[in-house]
Structure 1
Amino acid sequence: MSEETARRWGSTLDSVVVYAEGAVCRRLARGAVPPDGRVRVAGLPRTLDPGSLRARVLGPAGVRVTEARVEVASEPLDGDASDALRREVERLRDAHAAAEGRRDRQRTLIAEVEGLHPVPPARKHGEPHRRTAVDAWLELADFVDGRLARLHARLAELEEELRRAEHALSVAADRLDRASTDAPDEHVETSVCAVLTLDGAAGGEAPADVELELEYGVPGAVWVPAYRLSHRRDDDGGRLVLRASVAQRTGEDWTGVRLALATADLRRRTDLPRLRSVRIGRRQAAPAPSGWREPPAGLSD
């Protein structure tokens, strides 16, 4: 394992606080710190606000973060992924066409069997009427009914197979469309990492195992409340239910992540206000303006 590979840590999204506009995400990372104390925590989204990155050490004691910055790395895209998806779509398209052909042939066979019916021979001139072969007609009808029952059962299986092939083709085609529109034109993949410098991580020559917490803000997240009040007539109280609809396009998967909701504005100003000075005492007259003023520049010349 190279030194560059050892410095890169993976991270998991632990919790998210969704504000009126935007969200604050919390990630956890753990790993062995190299002797120089510099690590890269991967897995951060592209929509990360670089100025909102915060990092702190959860353990062990005595280790602290002295520097935290965002680094964007670029790597050539792997073209095999798109080619594999394209080949999969072509294979599924051929399978769908084959299933559709089998379904059509089965329908043609059913139409041919349905066309079977007894035809009495033509009576010649002067020939007396013949008796109808009822037994043969009934045997033919039983044969046609049994044959159609088996053909229709097979047709149901072929239609189900065609439906599954059509669904698989639509899913693969949608995946290919998403992959083609998501890839940048330059065929370069960008990854966002947090570059951290840790102090006191290495004791002697053995690197320490450190757990980190990263917090950062991302736009593209919003939640909308919905209130429902239930009240019965002649009752003193009721029931108020709050439901929240959360929508996000931050580039991260929030499945299984703890969510918290806040009504505050994430981008509000948090700097301290400048207080005006107040003088307590008797009012004094403003001093008279002095007649002195600076001489103009270049007077000596």
Structure 2
Amino acid sequence: MKPASHSSFLPLPWLLAALLGNLQPAFAASATAPGESLQAQSAAQVAPITRVMLYPDSAVVERSVRVKAGDTRIEIPGLPANFSVQALQIDSDGGVRIGETTALDSSRHAPLTAEEARLDAEVKRLKSRIDAIEIDKKAAELELKYLDSLASPSESQRTGQPAATLQTLRQGSIQAQRRILDAEAEKARLQPTLDSLSQDLTRIRPAVNEVRTLRIRVEAPRDGLLRLRYPLADAGWRPAYRATLNADGTGVSLERTAQLAQRTGEDWSRVKLSLVTGRSRNAVTGPVPSPWNIQLRPEYRAEMARAAAYPAAAPVPVPTALRAKEATPEPLFEVAANHGEYSTEYDLSEPLSLPADGRPMNVSLETLRIPVQLQVQVSPRQDKAAWLVATGSLPEGVWPAGEMQLYRNGNYVGSSRWNPAWTTGLKLPFGQDEQIRVSVRPVTARNASSGLIGQSAERQLEDVFTVTSRHKAAVKLLVLEASPVGQDEKIELSSQFKPPVSHQDWDGRRGVVAWEQELKGGASQDFSVEYRIRWPKERQIIGLP
């Protein structure tokens, strides 16, 4: 018998060896840590931002550009096309004369801000790595499929060197499957990072679809400086405050802060920033009132009833141009209207960098030391707790409404909306005083009839409020009570207070009475109230307990 020729199966180990030599993952050579990022490169600005006037609802940006003697045209590219060219202001010094200005807008195809460029590069890098992983996985699957076909029984595979062939197939299959598993694990590790970065990129990407190039004709007999100012809407600031009560309760440290944010499409890098209260100065005139017309409602006639019996005509469809547009992005801040007579401007001493990603940045403006008087305020009928309130004189200046954070003895008490326009002077709450106990004891609550043959109904109410101090030192006490107020002339009211009240219509609140006195340490004080309410018996009264 003639020996079988080895030419039909000898090339198989060589072929498998060649395949195994390429079984290293294609992504392994280029793999880097997921935290690595590409540093975004931004083009140099021809006219850098030098100053920003920031209002609660807008900003005015100022750019400066050097003009050389003999220049006839200045071109400033890369500006976001989200400001009105009509509102653009241009001035110069050094004898530079300004001619016509042309604005050329084009669709943007590159990131506008440094953060957008960084995230965009990182997202593209991760997508490229995941694509390479997918390609390598598919190649491994193809190789595994080919190895499976070689492992099928045939005469050529059973002859020659079956042990070596099977060992080679086994090694190739193991390596191919390992490549597939490694590729799936690497993709599973990178995908959450890609999803997170993609969400961050969507969040901080400016809503600016076009970029603008300004071309300005100039006549420059000598070197000079050109300044451009334009308003932007998607920026603002809101005031915030931090009040800290000192240990002995005689003073408050009041810190004025500002929360800034902007998503105008341009980064503000080390610019001189000024904060202005009130609205921007774009408006030049105020509103004029229209006539106030008052008239009687038309009489209801029979012909009007017949007309109402017929169905109304279908409404005319609203033209497409007048339909509501898509919802605009949420404003950065809910801007409260400031009705002060004057506005205040704060110039930050150091240049500030504020990226265009919409994230708020807190800046401290000033800290004032204000002497105060500390009172314990109690409203027994509404709440059995006692509350600390510091009162003092509000410093001069404009104080817009804002969030107030309160601290006592170094501990955070809470926060509340503070609007100085609601009160006269400075009045700040500092939480509950747990060393004061309050109780309410009803004494009398009875009904009666009075007048000739019981023509009137009467209700008598009497309560006693007891306030007990567990402090070692004396405290100033303010007890508040809302006495009944008649809304009809046929309701008769009489009130008795012991001890006599210190204030009627306290703080401008009708019917609210107040006792102000000093409560010694460890002492108790009773406050009694008695009310008699009389009204016509045939009428029903509302508001009594």
- Structure 2 length-normalised TM: 0.29
| Richer in helix (by share) | 1
| Richer in strand (by share) | 2
Where relative contact order (Cα < 8 A, 6+ residues apart) is larger, the structure is 1
